[in-house]
A and B are shown apart, each in its own frame.
Chain A
Amino acid sequence: MKALMFGWEFPPHILGGLGTASYGLTKGMAECGDMDITFVIPKPWGDEPKDFARIIGANSTPVAWRDVNWDYVEGRIGKVMNPQTYFDLRDHIYSDFNYMNTNDLGCIEFSGRYPDNLLEEINNYSIVAGVIARTVDCDVIHSHDWLTYPAGIHAKQVTGKPLVIHVHATDFDRSRGKVNPTVFSIEKDGMNNADHIITVSNLTRQTVIEKYGISPDKVTTVHNAVEPLSQDLLDIEVPPKHDKVVTFLGRITMQKGPEYFVDAAWQVLQKVHNVQFVMAGSGDMMEKMIRLAARRHIAGRFHFTGFLKGRQVYEMLKASDVYIMPSVSEPFGISPLEAMQMGVPSIISKQSGCAEILNNVIKVDYWDTNAIADAIYSIIKYPGMYKQLREQGLEEVNQITWDRAGAKVIDIYKRLINR
């Protein structure tokens, strides 16, 4: 079966959970066998893993004819893409886009991030998708998150193949209800045009059905999973410490509920002293949180590390005794699973999608800071609690693998193709 996937991020250059999830799912599907996957991203760097999917960069796809030779193309984009693909794509330019801002190869530049002119970039991405859809043979089209829905729709119109959209998050999650109408209309348009919608949790599925008015039989939940960690990361050693460490790790934004963490920390510190609280990450609420911690007179025990990436994340986790994710709304939330992989007991909000599949974590309402504080206290004070969560959590998270998620997605493809 041949699938044409549109994504926005792909490891190792990722900005959030979307890239990790797209990668894991693609790999999991490849492991199920008999899959030929083409994965389109705006701006590949060349060091993406290519063994289970063919990567096409939107910024290496010509939309305007340029008379260039093989060597020139190889020199320009050889490390990202096979030059032959460039020429194949060039044969399928469907309109003259010379009026657009194109480069020496006839390609549109992409940032591959979330720039201010994001909407323009989304539009360009969909223009490029028209060329790719005409070139790459596929049985099904799969769009990851709202940025790529217009591209998916375009590809569907060109090929007539069924479109699956994968809802990793909705704007209701990101904005705590204050939805951006433009984003909403893009999302809604994607959902209306999709032949099937995959959501990463039942929570998101409910949002799609209720807030976007989609028929329930068109929406299926496929929970995310995690990649096993490399031994190198598991073996990270951290210097011995005297205090217990409670860690919040993620973007410091409204969606992640950082203020509830500060409040719970304040409660715990009234009673226990040998504990440190860490807020790792960055975001628009960071300064507010620093002020809040100071106002609560716990700044001495409350630390901000700034944005952590790569190995730093795992070093932080390894040094932690408790991981906490009090998200107000979390479509899935992959990071508690990573904490569990590192053997860190986790506290997550019931409003997180991953709460649907996890048993050996503490689940609380994000606003219930009393319950959060109680849970933190219990884990750092009662060794049985720590040990049970650590050991059972590890065992549980090791069962949550991408090939199972992949198999579910393939089932959905088959249903659509045989319809």
Chain B
Amino acid sequence: MKSICFYFQIHQPFRLKTYRFFDIGNDHYYYDDFANDEIITRIAQRSYMPANEMLLDMIKENGKKFKVAFSITGTALEQLEQYVPEFIDSMKELAETGCVEFLSETYAHSLSSLVDPEEFVSQVKAHDQKIYQLFGQRPKVFRNTELIYDDDIASMVASMGFKGAITDGAKHILGWKSPNYLYKAAPVPKLKLLLKNSKLSDDISFRFSNPEWAAYPLTADKYIDWIASLPEEEMLINLFMNYETFGELQPRESGIFEFMKALPRFASQHNIEFMTPSEVVSKMKPVGELSVMHPISWADEARDTSAWMGNILQDEAVNKLYCLSERIRLIEDKRIRQDWNYLQASDHFYYMSTKHSSDGSVHSHYSPYDSPYAAFTNYMNVLSDFLIRVREQFPEEVENEELNALLLTIRNQEKEIEELNREVELMRNNIVKDTTGDFAPKVEEKEQEPEKKTPEKKAAAKKAPAKKVGEKKTTTKKVAKK
């Protein structure tokens, strides 16, 4: 039996306002609220809202046999909460049906997986926390910004406890293999990989209403026939697309909503079911390993990361941004942290792409700027101001190495504390064993009180370094004030 796995992406960056070099050091607000409001409201009205309605209908009609997954970035969620709160409600309603799964990703739709592993982990956690707050789900399957993926990312993702990840079925990686199977990651075989079927996905999201396309008009009947006629062993069809496909990329009058609504009926005729990514990961068996040395993505013909980090402009912008990460980790100022998040959105770098081929025209279509050079100039002006603000907290004289040393001690202390805790638990277990033999060591609450007396010395040891950290922190701040 074949399965279709749908996943829809929703992302909107915080677009920057025109920020001139005169503003550097004077104006610390960077965003084009008007454009951000206008764009997300328009897309929500034309696409997100009617598409949600459509999904809800489909789920109701098909007795929960129809399932989909969503990946919604933190920045998109923030904008939706602010400008289109009714969409969040509608999404909650969808979540309650139990037929919708939410995927994990970076909060800011960032490139941190390629540049800054530590930032990557913290962004993924922040995103999943946001999803949990809004929709009550803890994501189990990971999808990276623009499906960027390689072996290193696989290891990071697996170590965060994800069972599955989603990426593109890039031809130069798959070779003769088909994307219509479940794979596993070569460096960490316990991580299963779902690969996008580009042809079938793009048939819907890019070609559906194109009258010059040989297969036009596309009907649900025909589409399901294509899937049904795939070789019997190819069981998994991953259809990944932007949620704007419905109503925006393919306008309502193209019949895209009706097409979707008709899919489940024809699918059940051919005995094809719908699955969410986490169901796929738990139910299906991977057929082989995939090793990806150089990062891939779902963008452009090359399916690589050159759309974001492919020219000198992009390299400079990315480097200048991420050389701040160490300092920012020590900063608690909420506005700085928020700007740090928003400035990481991959879109800013995408606008700087200078590919002039057919890909280039797609780039300019999405860009609010005249040219990549204008995009770079504006972003760098903003970043220059941001840099000033970060420096005010941690001046340049504090060397990165010094900061690293500080961070290292802090991290080591965390580890130390953990280790000591474990030791405490062990000792505690030994002591309590006589009275409550079966107690699992992890249930701490009950034990914490009686045990406090015995390891007094350890507790003291625990506190001492923590104080030191505090002291050091204050000293650096003093330097800053000077």
Q: What residues of chain A have their CB less than 8 Å away from a CB belonging to chain B?
A: 267, 270-271, 359-360, 362-363, 370, 373-375, 377-378, 381-385, 387-389, 391-392
Contact = CB atoms under 8 A, between A and B. Distances in A.
A370 B377 CA distance: 13
Interface string B333-357: 0000000000000000000001010
Interface string B1-30: 000000000000000000011101000000
A361 to B, nearest CB: 8
13 contacts: A363-B371, A374-B21, A377-B21, A377-B377, A377-B381, A378-B377, A381-B380, A382-B376, A382-B377, A384-B315, A384-B376, A388-B312, A388-B373
Contacts of B377: 374-375, 377-378, 382, 385
Nearest to A389: B373
B316 A363 contact: no
B316 A370 contact: no
B360 to A, nearest CB: 9
Contacts of A384: 312-313, 315-317, 376, 380
A231 to B, nearest CB: 26
B316 A362 contact: no
Given A383-B316, A384-B315, A387-B312, A373 B21 contact: yes
Given A362-B371, A362-B373, A378-B380, A388 B354 contact: yes
B21 A360 contact: no
A366 B20 CA distance: 18
Given A383-B316, A388-B311, A388-B354, A375 B22 contact: no
Given A373-B20, A378-B380, A385-B377, 4 more contacts: A270-B22, A375-B377, A381-B384, A384-B313
B20 A370 contact: yes
A359 B355 CA distance: 10
Contact of A385 (B20, B21, B313, B356): B313
Given A271-B21, A392-B354, A385 B371 contact: no
A388 B313 contact: yes
A270 B26 CA distance: 14
B159 to A, nearest CB: 33
B309 to A, nearest CB: 12
A359 B312 contact: no
Contacts of B317: 384
Interface string B405-437: 000000000000000000000000000000000
A271 B381 CA distance: 13
A373 B374 CA distance: 12
A377 B377 CA distance: 9
Contacts of B311: 388, 392
Interface in B357-400: 370-371, 373-374, 376-377, 380-381, 384
Contacts of A378: 21, 373, 376-377, 380-381
B354 A385 contact: no
B373 A391 contact: no
B319 to A, nearest CB: 9
Nearest to A386: B312
Contacts of B373: 362, 375, 378, 385, 388-389
Specify which of B21, B24, B384 lies most central, judged by the most chain A CB atoms within 10 Å of its CB: B21
Contacts of B381: 374, 377-378
Given A359-B356, A360-B354, A375-B373, A385 B380 contact: yes
Contacts of B21: 271, 373-374, 377-378, 381
- Mostly helix, strand, loop or mixed at chain B's interface? helix
A374 B317 CA distance: 17
Nearest to B356: A359
Interface residue tally of chain B, by bracket? Answer: 20 to 34
A385 B313 CA distance: 6
A392 B377 CA distance: 17
B354 to A, nearest CB: 7
A359 B381 CA distance: 22
A289 to B, nearest CB: 24
B376 A385 contact: yes
Contacts of A363: 370-371
A270 B23 CA distance: 12
Of all A-B residue pairs in the complex, the 10 with the closest CB atoms, nearest first, are: A384-B316, A378-B377, A388-B312, A377-B21, A387-B312, A384-B312, A382-B380, A388-B313, A384-B313, A362-B373
Interface in B303-335: 311-313, 315-317
A387 B311 CA distance: 10
Nearest to A370: B20
Contacts of B24: 271
A391 B313 CA distance: 12
Specify which of A271, A382, A387 lies most central, judged by the most chain B CB atoms within 10 Å of its CB: A382
A369 to B, nearest CB: 11
Nearest to B24: A271
A392 B317 CA distance: 17
B280 to A, nearest CB: 42
Contacts of B380: 378, 381-382, 384-385
A374 B20 contact: yes
Contacts of B371: 362-363
A385 B372 CA distance: 10
Nearest to B376: A385
Given A363-B371, A374-B377, A385-B377, A391 B312 contact: yes
B329 to A, nearest CB: 25
A267 B23 CA distance: 12
Interface string B170-196: 000000000000000000000000000
B22 to A, nearest CB: 6
Contacts of A385: 313, 316, 373, 376-377, 380
A295 to B, nearest CB: 21
Nearest to A375: B377
B426 to A, nearest CB: 54
A181 to B, nearest CB: 38
Contacts of A370: 20
A96 B374 CA distance: 64
A384 B317 CA distance: 8
Contacts of A391: 312
Nearest to A384: B316
Nearest to B318: A384
A389 B373 CA distance: 9
Contacts of A388: 311-313, 354, 373, 376
Contacts of A387: 312
Interface in B100-125: none
B313 A271 contact: no
B354 A382 contact: no
A360 B373 CA distance: 9
Contacts of A271: 21-22, 24
A197 B382 CA distance: 48
Nearest to B383: A382
Contact of B316 (A375, A382, A392): A382
Nearest to B370: A363
Contacts of A267: 22
Contacts of A381: 21, 380, 384
A84 B317 CA distance: 67
A40 to B, nearest CB: 40
A145 to B, nearest CB: 32
A378 B379 CA distance: 10
Nearest to B311: A388
A373 B376 CA distance: 15
Nearest to B314: A384
A41 to B, nearest CB: 39
A250 B399 CA distance: 47
A296 B376 CA distance: 29
